[in-house]
Amino acid sequence: MPEKPASDLVRIRLHPQGSTLEVRRGTPLQEVLFAYGVEFPCGGHGRCRGCRVRVLSGDVPWTPEEEQILSRAELADGWRLACRSRASVDVTLEIRQWEAAILADHSSFKFRPGEGLGIAVDLGTTTLAAQLLDLASGDVLAVRTGLNPQAAYGSDVMSRIQYALSPGGQPRLEKLIRGGIDDLIGGLITAAGGGREVRDVVVVGNTVMHHLFCGIDIAPLAHYPFEPARDGLEIMESGSLEWKIPGRPPVRFLPCLGGFVGSDILAGIIASGMHESAELVALIDLGTNGEIVLGNRERMLCASTAAGPAFEGARIRMGMQATTGAISAVAVSGTSHDYRVLGGGPARGICGSGLVDAVAAGLKLGTIRPNGRFAEGLKEWTLAPGVGLYQSDIRELQLAKAAIAAATHLLLLRWQADRAEVRRVYLAGAFGNYVDRASARRIGLIDFPLHIVEPSGNTALLGAKMALCNSDSTDDFSDLRGRIRHVPLAADPLFEDSFVDCMGFPEPDAQGKL
Ligand code: FES
């Protein structure tokens, strides 16, 4: 093929990263910027503002759709939606998102010594984490993390399903995720020096990721009763995935638990040990899709609920991931507030943990009322120079926390247990790890005494490693799955009532107690 003439190419310089990309003139920015940390929370439909970038030099004309979602002042200041823009001339873009720190796992765990190497993968909707293990010693030899490349087509599972249902969508998403994990595995093997055979690969993820990785028709998850077509253990040949792993090991995607509750939660149960607990305990994974498990070694109930992306700082007006420049903590200081910015320097936005803190602080200061409205006359609460909290942000957080609180309430009802009978609450996932427990309690997100709430890190990855080291390739976890019942929440009138009840924020009594 003849080489394209140079005039067909344009340069995109990225600030502050300093990278320069050369792309075909007219390339949609969405095609190239995701790999550099720009997120597309609504899947590129021009609805959420989450993909904003600022044109520092060069010309990117704005579209009528952008006029609907960005203010005149923002457009004049160079802000554009990356999902609506193309590179037609050389440009310099400021991208607000930096590479996020992704939670891996370094806990010690019990294991049965084996031979060779093994790989555990946590396939999250937003992030990927993989570890290479020596199966004889249980030592972690290498770690690789990255963003799920599918996220260019939506930040939550519903927008991912929507894209998968478009012509050619599902095979494209399948190819992207298999390629993304292959890259991580390649990095693991290189880091460990190669040469040794890999015996087993275990992957865990939610039900949508399970379907999109394994090539199972996603359509049944798009409509009521949202039941998966197939949700058991899937075993594939690494060669059939076009992965070149020494030893050509089998790849096991662990089974789901029902509905949208996937093997990441099965792994969380294994990691927390709740399946061996004599006491009633709960596991709560706070993400765009919140999952809750309640139970003990006899029986467990699990449910999932669409919490929306507020905990990840998405769909928040000045929301961003927990990276450099994000306000990650807010605390009351006298009659005002104090805040902390990740990485120091000026605040650029607010991440999920900062949002929960800000609303908790606003409630204490009286800036925000228990019904979620700002105090009289306030339209925006300035948290830091250039970063404000808006009414719509509080609303997004109310929706997210009400979904989790109502799901927890419903599982307690179904179990016929009182909240006080719960002895421990494991908070799984990155947000659960970083959120301030007192603030989470103040807004009614986690309504349990602080001393029983335990941030538990990446339980999905830890559980995947435990499965890698303690189960064989045919183990379908039928004994454990037989003790877990999935409780569907969609269209359950009790859930809907409880959701409405949980929308407000708890009001302290006369002594200031919640
Ligand atoms: S507005 Fe561009 S991804 Fe949502």
- How confident is the model over 56-110, as pLDDT tens digits? 999 999 998 898 888 887 899 899 999 999 999 999 998 865 445 567 777 778 8
82 CA closest ligand 1 atom index: 2
C-alpha 83 to ligand 1 mean position (Å): 6
Q: By C-alpha distance, which of 12, 186, 38, 185 is closest to 100?
A: 38
pLDDT tens for 137-187 read 988 898 888 889 998 888 788 889 999 999 999 999 999 999 999 999 999
Q: What angle do CA 50, 54, 59 make, to 5 degrees?
A: 125
Determine the pLDDT at residue 254: 97
Distance CA 464, CA 200 (A): 11
* Ligand 1 contact via 403 beta carbon (within 6 Å): no
44 CA closest ligand 1 atom index: 3
* Ligand 1 contact via 46 beta carbon (within 6 Å): yes
Q: What is the DSSP letter of 491?
A: T
Distance CA 453, CA 456 (A): 9
C-alpha 40 to ligand 1 mean position (Å): 5
Q: Which amino acid is at 53?
A: V
C-alpha 359 to ligand 1 mean position (Å): 25
**Which two structure tokens, joined as six digits, stand for 256?**
């789901």
Model's pTM, two decimal places? Answer: 0.81
Residue 447, H or E segment:
none
* Ligand 1 contact via 185 beta carbon (within 6 Å): no
Determine the pLDDT at residue 3: 47
Q: Three-state SS for 147? A: strand
81 CA closest ligand 1 atom index: 2
Determine the pLDDT at residue 1: 45
Q: Which of 212-216, 265-269, 308-312, 347-351 has the lowest mean pLDDT?
A: 308-312
CB atoms within 10 A of CB 479: 9
* Ligand 1 contact via 51 beta carbon (within 6 Å): yes
C-alpha 127 to ligand 1 mean position (Å): 19
46 CA closest ligand 1 atom index: 1
pLDDT tens for 391-449 read 999 999 999 999 999 999 999 999 999 999 999 999 998 888 889 999 999 999 999 99
**Which two structure tokens, joined as six digits, stand for 442?**
């103040």
Determine the pLDDT at residue 306: 85
* Ligand 1 contact via 42 beta carbon (within 6 Å): yes
Question: pLDDT averaged over the chain?
Answer: 90
**Which two structure tokens, joined as six digits, stand for 155?**
């930040």
Q: How many angstroms from the chain centroid is the CA of residue 222?
A: 20
Greatest distance between any 2 Cα atoms in the chain: 79
* Ligand 1 contact via 50 beta carbon (within 6 Å): yes
